[in-house]
Copies of this chain bind each other. A is one copy, B any other.
Amino acid sequence: MVKPGKIYGIGVGPGDPELLTIKARRILKEVPLLLVPRSRRDKDSLALSIVEEFLREDLERVDLLLPMTRDRDELKKHWERAARQVLEKLQEGKDGAFITLGDPATYSTFPYLQRHLWELDREVEVEMIPGVSAINDMASRVGCPLAEGEESLVITTPPKTPGDLEEILDRFENLVIMKAGRSTGEITSLLESKGLEGRAFFASRIGFADGFYTRDLSELKDKTFDYLSTFIIKFGLHKG
């Protein structure tokens, strides 16, 4: 029996291929197998578009169909199938790289794959390669630090209620709201009601050619934004 291959969970950064790490690029050049998560068969993978230029010509590519759904049973079924697909390839002795936007430890799907793989075979060797997260890229692009000195930082998906947002505001200096595409209206209203609209930065599709960045939240009115949208809100300025 051949020794099973190892799986890498590679953070490919926020969008610009130059923001890959040297290590991620080296491993992507070396592995014979690329594992590409896709939400729909007919939709291009953003992660794949970032790394395409670095790949081996004789690379074997396996698409993993992982639809976005809140139906837990449906989701579990897809993850189990993806894990079986991956394990089969690793058992041929090939090392594989699973590519994920940003950083594999920060709101990535790689930990799900790892858990489902380990349910099938606890001996599978796994290595995560950290990447630049979209929020670090956004902070650099808009020239606004995420946290300084003794400050604290909360990173969250859109708060469920206005009260949740107020609690954070009372206690912490900096807030990042990720995956905010569908909540821009509510978040903007909340910030306006607190007089904090001037403390916020907004970005959508950070690092991609059609990326959008603004400090003027009135620009968000009556527009719809991609799921990959982020607010950075600096309460520290408010308190200081």
Contacts and interface: CB of A to CB of B under 8 A. Distances in A.
Contact of A156 (B107, B111, B152): B152
Task: Please indicate which of the listed interface residues A153, A167, A171 has the most CB atoms of chain B within 10 Å of its own CB.
Answer: A153
B156 A167 contact: no
B147 A107 contact: yes
Contacts of A106: 136, 139, 145-147
A140 B150 contact: no
Nearest to A19: B21
A237 interface: no
Nearest to A207: B130
B22 A19 contact: yes
B154 A172 contact: yes
A59 interface: no
A94 to B, nearest CB: 21
A13 interface: yes
Contacts of A25: 22
Given A153-B155, A154-B153, A156-B152, A140 B18 contact: no
Task: Identify whether the interface residues of A are mostly helix, strand, loop, or mixed.
Answer: mixed
A20 interface: yes
A20 B127 CA distance: 18
Interface string A184-215: 00000000000000000000000000000000
A147 B110 CA distance: 12
Given A19-B130, A154-B155, 10 more contacts: A13-B21, A19-B22, A21-B132, A105-B139, A105-B140, A105-B145, A112-B148, A128-B143, A130-B132, A130-B139
Contacts of A13: 21
Nearest to A26: B18
20 contacts: A11-B140, A13-B21, A19-B21, A19-B23, A21-B22, A22-B22, A22-B25, A105-B145, A105-B146, A111-B145, A111-B148, A130-B136, A130-B139, A131-B132, A152-B157, A153-B154, A153-B156, A154-B155, A155-B155, A156-B172
- 7 closest A-B pairs by beta carbon, nearest first, are A105-B139, A128-B140, A152-B156, A18-B23, A130-B136, A130-B140, A111-B145
A126 interface: yes
A17 to B, nearest CB: 8
Contact of A133 (B9, B16, B26, B136): B136
